[in-house]
Structure 1
Amino acid sequence: MALYHRLLGRAARLVWRVTRPRTIGVRAVLLDAGERLALVRHTYTDGWYLPGGGVKKGEAITHALHRELAEEVAIEGATVERVLGVYHSRREGKDDHVIVYVVRAGADTLHRGDALEVAEAGWFDPDALPAGTTPATLRRIAEWREGVTGEGRW
């Protein structure tokens, strides 16, 4: 199934290079009571990421955030503390805007949500992130740790 998702991802990136869509995404610096961070590894791409995803047409951005947390890491009832930043990405041929929130989980239990989309999910100490954590994820975590509001390049 992972191969199927990887092929779909490659096809989508090809379409995006041609159509150059404007998209909106959400990600969460999701924290438990012990200040551990939730990260996910998807089936369709390499690396560890902050949980999140795309905002659907007609969907409120915060609704998309909560939907993605439920889908990817089975967390419901999380509390949004603040917006970490708003970022722009031209990767994959898209004109993508990503809003990152700092969010507190209501529970310390983290489960991999959609098994077709998420290969692994876990809590990680900010000083012991897994190998393969993506550069953009590392930048967002650094901004959170510094207490700054991020902006600009994803």
Structure 2
Amino acid sequence: MSEAPPEMRSWKSRLITRVVHSYFAFARGMTMGVRAACFDAEGRVFLVRHSYVPGWHMPGGGLERRETALQALVKELREEGNLEMSGLPELFHVYFNRQTSNRDHVVFYRCRNVRQVSRKKPDMEIVESGFFALDDLPEATTPATRRRLAELSGSTPPADFW
């Protein structure tokens, strides 16, 4: 197996991830999450920096019981960035996230013409967020985020693993 991604190298990140996924192992048979590459009218992508894991990520989160992927996506975009979609998101790919657990999947969307209703104030989960030009991403943008953006651009084919 390859080396853990940078966002999973700290013992705190691994511990929190293990505890959360252990809970979900009992609560759910399989875990599934959503993430989205959200682009504004200027073509910039929205990224968030969490309090509990290093790096810049695309917004997203886990599906709850009786929640559709689209409902989870709308909820996560609102919670993590005060974002609204002007149209339907485009399903891009479903990835197996084996770095998190042996049964976690990520439903990945592309959202165009997303707008931020109001600036997102830092909170316990999201400490920083913003729109970034694709050629000027924050240095700490995670490798997985960079891979997904490369796949969206067509410069690399979609992988099966997050």
TM-score (norm: length of structure 2) = 0.79
Check 1:83–1:151 CA distance in 2 against 1; reply closer, same or farther (3 A cut). Answer: farther
Q: Distance in 2 between matches of 1:74 and 1:27?
A: 15
Gaps of 5+ in 1: 1-5
Q: Distance in 2 between matches of 1:115 and 1:151?
A: 33
The AA in structure 2 aligned to 1:68 is E
Name whichever of 13-22 and 143-152 sits farther off: 13-22
Aligned pair partner of 1:48 in 41, 48, 56: 56
Q: Percent identity?
A: 36
Report the 3-state secondary structure (helix = DSSP H, G, I; strand = E; otherwise coil) of the residue aligned with 1:153: coil
The AA in structure 2 aligned to 1:25 is G
| RMSD over equivalenced CA pairs, Å | 2.8
Check 1:138–1:11 CA distance in 2 against 1; reply closer, same or farther (3 A cut). Answer: closer
Name whichever of 89-98 and 39-48 sits farther off: 89-98
Aligned to 2:8: none
1:151 Cα offset (Å): 4.3
Runs of 4+ deviating beyond 4 Å = 6-9, 17-21
Aligned to 2:160: 152
Q: Distance in 1 between matches of 2:110 and 2:70?
A: 12
Q: Distance in 1 between matches of 2:78 and 2:155?
A: 26
Aligned to 1:13: 18
Gaps of 5+ in 2: 1-10
Q: Distance in 1 between matches of 2:153 and 2:50?
A: 24
Q: Does 1:134 align with 2:139?
A: no
